[in-house]
Structure formats: structure tokens, C-alpha cells
Amino acid sequence: MKSALAPNSEIRPDTSRKPAGMAYPVLGAISLTHLLNDMMQSVLLAMYPILQGNFDLSFAQVGVITLAFQFSASLLQPMVGRFTDRHPMPYSLPIGMGFTFCGLILLSFAWNFPMVVLAAMLVGAGSSVFHPESSRVARMASAGQHGLAQSIFQVGGNIGSSIGPLLAALLIVPHGQRSVIWVSAAALLGILILYGVSRWYAANLTSSRGRQSLRKADNGLDHRQVLWALSILLLLIFSKYFYLAGLNSYFTFFLIDRFHVEVQQAQYALFVFLAGVATGTLVGGPVGDRIGRKRVIWGSILGTAPFSLALPYVNLEWTLILVFCAGAMIASAFPAIIVYAQELMPGKTGTVSGLFFGLAFGMGGIGAAVLGWLADATSIAFVYHLCAWLPVLGVVAFFLPDMRSRTVARTTAR
């Protein structure tokens, strides 16, 4: 990575006719910064009990913090992606991480509730810039292996999300709100790494690698077919992220309620699930490159159903096995969904990435709120019995157009 991204190294566009290979140092760099980005976001969410105690916040005010973060982190992403599709901005990556840095500094010194809300919006704005542009870099660095590149990029975010609460428990809970300033050092590291990535991005933007990765290739679908396929993908995103919200937010409560385990044991079990999610994210992309994204998408989400349907009825040992399998299966869909959507809308990498990463954030937040309300109104066991059926919606993926067969047909026709 050092040789590819060192500030003093000379970077030239690849002008040769020989296809460039996958740029693993660049992919490693954006995966690492994805880890840092999502770790810092999850630290913010893990701080809610501290902020509630410091400022005597009501649950409604905690909800406002979440709304501010989700608004800037999810709703702005498609707009940022659409703008950068038309006007690529390689150096927006370190600038976006700079928003996160400023948000964390403000959060560490925030003296009232409005300052906390502003800090949350700045952290979310950093994500809005980071995800669409980093996804574009991953595609540019992929050398045609788009699924593998997306998996490498996304697995960093999965790891970061799992580290954040642990970091909050070890650093912020014992030392208080001011200790967030130490977490901002991760944002500074991210800025330095992304500056090197931006230099590579700018150098390759007009090269054969850049033109090939961002060209508007014909996928053989008309406008109606594209809208139909996007509608199916949105339904699958709903199924996937509502189910993940149930596990991420309430799995520990389910274990405590059903098996009467200690909180610490429940947290260990949650890490088993998160390990499954990271594994599935890493595997789903390259498998999609080999066998087709449609097969991975329906096999991943629908294939989760046997594990999810059995989860509410098995003992603790089998719960750990099944929750790992469920996490791995359902997480393997997202890299394939992103690349499939990019192929549906060629030349709109930023718009697609911003839309689907934004939806992932939004559905996760809405899912957590809705399922929490439902658990209050009924019981945590009822929520898990209900959520177990969500992966069955994966059956609609059968109706997605098969992009591989269309590509083969167009190639044969030529």
C-alpha cells in the first residue's frame, strides 16, 4: 500500500492498452477507511446513554439526534452521488472525512443539546460524501472483478461497526464525553489515507482504467425493465435491513429473555452474529462475479429463511450456530445488490451507491424504531417470530432480469 499511495511517489495514468490488474493497495486503503468511518459512526450511537446522562435528554431528544444523523447520512447520499457522477471530485474523499473529524471534535466539547445535534449531522455528512465516492473508487480499482472489489470495500465497514461499541465501552464510558477527541484521531488517519487514494483516483480518472470502469455500457434493458428491477431490489433491501435491524438492536435482549444469560454473554453472542455478517460480506461479491449476481441475491436472502425460521425454537448452542449462518447468508447479498444496480444504471455509479447505501442506513434506522415499538407493544419473542419470515421475501429476486445471459446474448449477436 505504501508504494502505491506514498505522497512523494510519482503517479501516472495507465495509458497502455494492456488491461490494468486489480489495484489491491487502493482497495485495501478504502476498506480501511471504511472501517474507520463506520467505527466512528457507531461510537456516536453507542454514546447515547452518556449524552442522555450529561444533558438530561428525553427519549424524544435521543430520537432527534438519530434523525439528524440519519438525515445527513442517508438522504444526502443519493444527491452527492448524482452530483459527482456529473462532476467527479476525487479530493472530496478527504474533505468528507474532514466533516466527520469536525463532528467528533464538536461532540467532545458540545455544551448543549443543539451542539450535539449539529455534531451528529456533521458525522452523517462525512458518510454521505464517503460512501458514493469510495464505491466509485472500488469499481475503478476492480479490473472487472466488481463484486470482489465491493466485498473488500464493504467488509471494512462491517468490522468498523462492530468495533465502535467496543471502543465506546473501553474508552468513552470510563473517561466521559471529552474522550471522544481521541476517536477523532481515527478521522485524521482517514484523511491522510484518503488523500493518497484521491491522488490515485485523479490520476486514473481519464486513463483507460477510469474510462472503462465508468463508461455507460448497454445492458439491453428498457426504462420500464430497469424500474421494475430497481423496485425488486428496494423490496429486498427492506427485507434484509429490517431483519438485520432486529438482530443488531434486539438479539441480546432476545437471548436474555429466552435463555436468561448474562449481559456479557449476550454481547459475545452478538459478536458471533457480526462475525457471520463480515464473512458473508467478503464472500458474496466474488461469488457473484463467478456465478452471477442474481443467483447470489436470491440465494442469499431466501437462503437465510431456513436459519431464521429455526432460530426462535432451538437451544442456546444451536442459536449461536444458526445466527452465524443467518448473518453470513443475508450479508452476502449486499455487494451483489450494489454491483447489480450499477449494471442496471451504467455510468451512474455514484447515484446508485448513494441511493443503496443511503437506503441501508435509512431502513436500518426505521427498522430498529418500528421493531422496538412492536416489542414494547407485544414481546421480544413475538418480534423474533415475526422477523423470521422477512427473508422469505427473497423469493421476489427470481423476477430480476438475468444480466449475465443478456451480456452473453449481446456478445453472440455481435
Interval 368-408: pLDDT, tens: 778 878 888 888 889 889 999 999 999 999 999 887 655 44
Q: What is the pLDDT of residue 215?
A: 58
**177 close to 51: Cβ distance less than 8 angstroms:** yes
Domains along the chain with CATH numbers: 23-214 (1.20.1250.20), 223-413 (1.20.1250.20)
The string of pLDDT tens digits covering residues 41-70 is 877 766 766 777 788 876 667 767 777 887
The string of pLDDT tens digits covering residues 404-413 is 655 444 444 4
Which H or E run includes 188? helix 180-204
Instruction: State how far the Cα of 232 lies from the Cα of 391, in Å rounded to an integer.
Output: 14
Provide the terminal-to-terminal Cα distance of the chain, rounded to the nearest Å: 40
Is 321 a residue whose pLDDT tops 70? yes
Which H or E run includes 133? helix 113-140
Local structure of 414: helix, strand or coil = coil
Going by pLDDT thresholds of 50, 70 and 90, the confidence category of residue 265 is: confident
Q: What is the pLDDT of residue 63?
A: 65
Identify the DSSP state of 47: T
Is 11 a residue whose pLDDT tops 50? no
Highest mean pLDDT among 77-81, 214-218, 260-264: 77-81
Q: What is the pLDDT of residue 209?
A: 60
Question: Worst-scoring range by mean pLDDT, 2-11, 222-231, 300-309?
Answer: 2-11
Q: What is the pLDDT of residue 59?
A: 62
Alpha helices in 56-172 (DSSP H): 59-70, 76-86, 92-109, 113-140, 146-167
pLDDT > 90 in the chain, percent:
22
Q: What is the pLDDT of residue 196?
A: 92
Going by pLDDT thresholds of 50, 70 and 90, the confidence category of residue 306 is: very high
Longest distance between any two alpha carbons in the chain, whole Å: 68
**40 close to 104: Cβ distance less than 8 angstroms:** yes
Which among 225, 254, 289, 203 has a CA at the least distance from the CA of 380? 254
**165 close to 42: Cβ distance less than 8 angstroms:** yes
Which among 170, 151, 131, 404 has a CA at the least distance from the CA of 278? 151
Is 276 a residue whose pLDDT tops 90? no
Q: What is the pLDDT of residue 405?
A: 53
| DSSP per-residue letters across 224-265 | HHHHHHHHHHHHHHHHHHHHHHHHHHHHHHHHHHHH---HHH
Going by pLDDT thresholds of 50, 70 and 90, the confidence category of residue 257 is: confident
Per the model's pLDDT, the better-predicted residue between 15 and 161 turns out to be: 161
Q: Which three cell numbers stand for residue 383?
A: 418480534
Q: What is the mean pLDDT of residues 254-259?
A: 87
Instruction: State how far the Cα of 118 lies from the Cα of 21, in Å rounded to an integer.
Output: 42
Burial 299-313 (b: 16+ CB within 10 A, else e): bbbbbbbebbbbbbe
Going by pLDDT thresholds of 50, 70 and 90, the confidence category of residue 138 is: confident
Going by pLDDT thresholds of 50, 70 and 90, the confidence category of residue 146 is: confident
| DSSP per-residue letters across 373-413 | HHHHHS-HHHHHHHHTTGGGGGGGGGGS--HHHHHHHHHHH
Q: What is the pLDDT of the chain when averaged over all its residues?
A: 81
Q: 73 CB contacts (<8 Å, ≥6 apart)? A: 41, 123, 124, 125, 127, 128, 358, 361
**196 close to 5: Cβ distance less than 8 angstroms:** yes
Q: What is the pLDDT of residue 46?
A: 67
Going by pLDDT thresholds of 50, 70 and 90, the confidence category of residue 210 is: low
To which residue does cell 474508552 refer?
171
Burial 139-167 (b: 16+ CB within 10 A, else e): bbbbbebbbbbbbbbbbbbbbbbbbbbeb
Q: What is the pLDDT of residue 109?
A: 86
Task: Taking the CA atoms of 153, 98, 7 and 202 in sequence, report the sign of the dihedral they define.
Answer: positive
To which residue does cell 448524482 refer?
82
Is 4 a residue whose pLDDT tops 50? no
| DSSP per-residue letters across 285-348 | HHHHHHH-HHHHHHHHHHHHHHHHHHGGGS-HHHHHHHHHHHHHHHHTHHHHHHHHHHHHSTT-
